[in-house]
Structure 1
Amino acid sequence: MNLKAESNQKTKNNTMKNIIIIGNSAAGVAAAESIRTQDSKSKIVMVSDEPYFAYCRCLISNYLSGSIEEKKLTYRDEKFYSDNRIELLLDKKVERVDVKKKKIVLAEKQELLYDSLIIATGAHASMPKDLKGTNKRGAFGFRTIKDTNDILELLPMSHTSCVLGGGLIGLKAAYGLKKRGQDVKVVVRSGRILSQVADDKAAGLLLSRFQENGIEVLLNTGVSEIIGNGDVKAIKLENGKVIGTSIVVVGKGVTSNTKLVRDSDVKIDWGISVDEYMRTNIDNIYAAGDVAQGYDLTTNSSQVNALWPVAVEQGKIAGANVCGASLKSKGSFGMNSVEFFGLPLISMGVFEGDYETLVYYNKEKQVYRKLVIDKGRIIGTLLLGDIANSGLYFHLIKEKADISKIQDDLLDTNLSYARISDFVRQDEKIYI
């Protein structure tokens, strides 16, 4: 998104504002950068409950697997904050937001006043309330650098690791643990993996790839308890079987961090409700990233799309609008990109339902490509094994383009730009 092209305006007065950003990841950093392109004078205070400079959360599985070092996760260092005159408060938890007095209250009871507030608190790993033993040493979520370091600390004492959940978080953890030499068992309550990002066909192909690489996946299996006297020793399945383990990673999705506004008048559902300007229902309070619930343009509903690029775009919009701009979001949609054991997957938008579909499958090459079409426009795509044209499909979904005239050519991996030039804006770079 080009802020200058879409906004082309600075803060209209020289009034110094006191801007607080809660959160120091994709949305929070993008908001701060956006503010500084519009306003060089106002005070920015950024509060984070983690002790780290901004790091790429979506790469912690690479850190777990050993393919990158911890220091490579950092994408904004100390110099960034000083150069942009950002007062950074690390390892500080915001307890609540007082919207009437326009202040935030930290856990240490310190109070900070704001003129404008951007909530970019992200999300946390979900722990099932009915699962016993999640507080034992050796039971982890998989969301932060600390989670990863705690897991790595136990690896030398562990031979078997168990992962609860067959979604992206769980499978990324399983992949990383396998790369570290662990005997990995994935326990999935439902009948398939990746139910939120892939259809039955794609999920089945990926399941086979995991099994071929020595990861045992137990489908239709629940866990009743994590066993151990302080430290994790085993998990007990609902069928009574006990599996010995020292490490249990609970990959049961994430929950938006809305607790700080639950006792306020800020409207929340799954996340904090925002409009296309990233405004909440309270004046001068914005939300962006994994905590924000806004318009999903593929389902025409309000959703939390907890994705890095969505967080960055929403942060940019919130930051600009705090400074008096009027940038609007066109909406977001679910989108994931991952590779397991040499098999890449890209999933966007809606991939199941009573819609028209275009499908290509090559069993020998392990290639599966699917487009989901509703009323002449693409609302979703699955690309497994061959991810060619993913940038084009992303653009066509986001622009809600009428693809009826080129529909028969869309799965062709050799699709030329000339063939679809009428359907893309000339000022955008489209990867096909």
Structure 2
Amino acid sequence: MSRSCAPGRAATARREAFGETNSTSNEEIALTAHPTRFVIIGNGAAGTYAAEQLRKLDAAAEIVMIDDEPYTLYNRVSLPRYLRGVLLEQRVYVRDMEWHTKNRIDLRLETKVDQVNFDEKTVHMEPGGEISYDRLLIATGGRPNPLRAPGAEGAPYLFNFQYFDEAKGMVARIPESKVAVVLGGSFIGYELTEAFAHRGLETHWLMRGPWFLRRALDQEGGKVITLLAQDAGVHLHYDEAIDRLERSNGQLKVIGTKGFTATADMVGVGLGLTMNIDIFEGTGLETNVGVKTNEFLETNMPDVWSAGDVAEFYDVVSQRHHRMGTWDNSLNHGRHVAKNMLGAKEPYIEVPTYASGMFNSNISVMGVTTEEEPDAEAVVEVEYEPRNYKRLFFLGDKLVGAILVGKMKGRKKVLELISSRTPIEDRRKVFELLALPELPPKAPAATPE
């Protein structure tokens, strides 16, 4: 029997079994004698931090993690710095096999899950056969969308930027390269562009839209990003895409849809992600772009939760379902969902945020923008010469999101206003509030002697 992913489900009692005592109930004795088996599909940030939290809260639990990559957890946020050449490979790893062994977490790498039976509560692996679960976490993440253009399939030196192996391939190729082409108008496209330019390559950045983050930034914001990119020596090509690739003496000739041509040593592609939910087709699991959950990260299937990039969860702050494809969200999801998998009933409450460098500046995206909520109305403040930009998004009298480029002053105030849902009559007054100095932390009260 399935259950609804709608918000507001009633609370249930939390059950924990940490060993038998004189007051241990029969149920606790049974749980201790037969430890709960938690199966986690995916060993990214959400899966690994969920496993870590489960072990902290339940010493007797049996924890199995399954992933098709050959690596233990590595920090995807660190891959751009690794690509830039400012971070050593070993610093990208977050956990090693010794950590998993010490914490009695059965990690099965290079293992693909090809079927889940929610009625029988089993997961089928290749290789490895079938394993049963008591409680299941789906943290499968997403895979990069490939470039679909003539000449792209099997082309050498054509890279996405989602996996460690892809980053390693680019790092190996950079010393032999002079020219790089990047396609993609989102953060993956930016990260590739910035890394190639930092490495001294002649870098061409192609975007299919009229400016960077075209669904969230307006023309003024797009101009600020253009100026920052040009300051870094990047060649920008808007309203342009790759029509086809041709192999030429160990290089790739890139032919654009609007007249762009270049012979490149490397081509990077950032065209978004497709969530890994194919194996759940026809199972009754509720999916949309990702796996639908309520605010407790529960799916519509009994004893099944979802977390991380793939979780399309009900957000009690924005009062809508959405995904948050950031490292911090995945980490926090993992720690939070573990408590609920052990019987807690706590809603996940967090304003979605993403912060990144932007060439020699910074960008921060908070809450909901017009990309997720087209009906949101925006007010803007821009300074081209210092390259500063603020765009605030409102639904009615509530601030629901913001984008800051350049100075990050006021970021904490923005998050407070979004999370508190404070009514705002004069929208432009928020800019004045953000310009006020941050209050210093209160000094601790003196302890009487």
Of 376, 380, 387, which residue of structure 2 is paired with 1:366? 387
Query: 1:148 aligns to what?
Result: 167
Of 322, 332, 344, which residue of structure 1 is paired with 2:362? 344
Deviation at 1:9, TM superposition (A): 5.7
8 Å contact from structure 1 (residues 358, 411) kept in 2: no
Question: What is the CA–CA distance in structure 2 between the aligned matches of 1:107 and 1:398, rounded to whole Å?
Answer: 44
Name the amino acid aligned to 2:417. L
Query: 1:425 aligns to what?
Result: none
Question: What is the CA–CA distance in structure 1 between the aligned matches of 2:377 and 2:15, rounded to whole Å?
Answer: 46
> 2:402 aligned with 1:384, yes or no?
no
> 2:52 aligned with 1:29, yes or no?
no
Question: What is the CA–CA distance in structure 2 between the aligned matches of 1:8 and 1:284, rounded to whole Å?
Answer: 14
Question: What is the CA–CA distance in structure 1 between the aligned matches of 2:321 and 2:294, rounded to whole Å?
Answer: 10
Of 164, 167, 178, which residue of structure 1 is paired with 2:186? 167
> 2:280 aligned with 1:261, yes or no?
yes
Residues 91-106 of structure 1: matches in 2 within 5 Å? Answer: 91-106=110-125
Deviation at 1:231, TM superposition (A): 6.1
Question: What is the CA–CA distance in structure 1 between the aligned matches of 2:12 and 2:98, rounded to whole Å?
Answer: 27
Name the amino acid aligned to 1:398. S
Residues 69-80 of structure 1: matches in 2 within 5 Å? Answer: 69-80=88-99
Question: What is the CA–CA distance in structure 1 between the aligned matches of 2:86 and 2:12, rounded to whole Å?
Answer: 40
Query: 1:133 aligns to what?
Result: 152
User: CA 1:314 to 1:387, structure 2 compared with 1: closer, same or farther past 3 Å?
Assistant: same
User: CA 1:135 to 1:399, structure 2 compared with 1: closer, same or farther past 3 Å?
Assistant: farther
Deviation at 1:142, TM superposition (A): 0.4
Bigger radius of gyration? 2
Which string of whole-angstrom CA distances, capped at 9 and with x for unpartnered residues, describes residues 12-57 of structure 1?
A: 5351111111111111122112212321101001112222221111
Of 396, 404, 411, which residue of structure 1 is paired with 2:434? 411
Question: What is the CA–CA distance in structure 1 between the aligned matches of 2:237 and 2:225, rounded to whole Å?
Answer: 14
TM-score, length basis structure 2: 0.84
Number of residues paired by the alignment? 413
8 Å contact from structure 2 (residues 224, 388) kept in 1: no
Residues 244-393 of structure 1: matches in 2 within 5 Å? Answer: 244-296=263-315, 300-330=319-349, 333=352, 335-352=353-370, 357=378, 359-393=380-414
Question: What is the CA–CA distance in structure 2 between the aligned matches of 1:109 and 1:53, rounded to whole Å?
Answer: 18
Question: What is the CA–CA distance in structure 1 between the aligned matches of 2:281 and 2:142, rounded to whole Å?
Answer: 15
Question: What is the CA–CA distance in structure 2 between the aligned matches of 1:193 and 1:251, rounded to whole Å?
Answer: 12
8 Å contact from structure 1 (residues 26, 311) kept in 2: yes
Question: What is the CA–CA distance in structure 2 between the aligned matches of 1:265 and 1:337, rounded to whole Å?
Answer: 36
Residues 181-192 of structure 1: matches in 2 within 5 Å? Answer: 181-192=200-211
Which string of whole-angstrom CA distances, capped at 9 and with x for unpartnered residues, describes residues 278-337 of structure 1?
A: 11111111110111111245654322221122222222232111111112123653x321
Question: What is the CA–CA distance in structure 2 between the aligned matches of 1:127 and 1:205, rounded to whole Å?
Answer: 29
Q: Secondary structure at the match of 1:221?
A: coil
Deviation at 1:123, TM superposition (A): 1.2
5+ residue gaps, structure 1: 1-5, 422-432
Q: Secondary structure at the match of 2:224?
A: helix
Of 41, 49, 67, which residue of structure 1 is paired with 2:86? 67
Deviation at 1:229, TM superposition (A): 7.6
Deviation at 1:340, TM superposition (A): 2.5
User: CA 1:96 to 1:8, structure 2 compared with 1: closer, same or farther past 3 Å?
Assistant: closer
Question: What is the CA–CA distance in structure 1 between the aligned matches of 2:12 and 2:220, rounded to whole Å?
Answer: 44
Query: 1:394 aligns to what?
Result: 415
Question: What is the CA–CA distance in structure 2 between the aligned matches of 1:140 and 1:267, rounded to whole Å?
Answer: 32
Question: What is the CA–CA distance in structure 1 between the aligned matches of 2:14 and 2:128, rounded to whole Å?
Answer: 38
Percent identity of the aligned residues?
25
Question: What is the CA–CA distance in structure 2 between the aligned matches of 1:151 and 1:337, rounded to whole Å?
Answer: 24
Deviation at 1:198, TM superposition (A): 3.1
8 Å contact from structure 2 (residues 409, 434) kept in 1: no
Q: Secondary structure at the match of 1:281?
A: coil
Query: 1:11 aligns to what?
Result: 16
Question: What is the CA–CA distance in structure 1 between the aligned matches of 2:329 and 2:214, rounded to whole Å?
Answer: 21
Question: What is the CA–CA distance in structure 2 between the aligned matches of 1:150 and 1:197, rounded to whole Å?
Answer: 32
Residues 206-245 of structure 1: matches in 2 within 5 Å? Answer: 206-228=225-247, 233-239=252-258, 241-245=260-264
Q: Secondary structure at the match of 2:53?
A: helix
User: CA 1:215 to 1:305, structure 2 compared with 1: closer, same or farther past 3 Å?
Assistant: same
8 Å contact from structure 1 (residues 297, 332) kept in 2: no
Deviation at 1:250, TM superposition (A): 1.1
Of 188, 196, 201, which residue of structure 1 is paired with 2:220? 201
Question: What is the CA–CA distance in structure 2 between the aligned matches of 1:42 and 1:94, rounded to whole Å?
Answer: 22
Question: What is the CA–CA distance in structure 2 between the aligned matches of 1:92 and 1:345, rounded to whole Å?
Answer: 37
Which string of whole-angstrom CA distances, capped at 9 and with x for unpartnered residues, describes residues 183-223 of structure 1?
A: 11111111111225533322211111112222111101121
Question: What is the CA–CA distance in structure 2 between the aligned matches of 1:229 and 1:249, rounded to whole Å?
Answer: 17
Question: What is the CA–CA distance in structure 2 between the aligned matches of 1:160 and 1:31, rounded to whole Å?
Answer: 42
5+ residue gaps, structure 2: 1-10, 18-27, 443-449
Aligned Cα root-mean-square deviation (Å): 2.7
8 Å contact from structure 1 (residues 305, 332) kept in 2: no
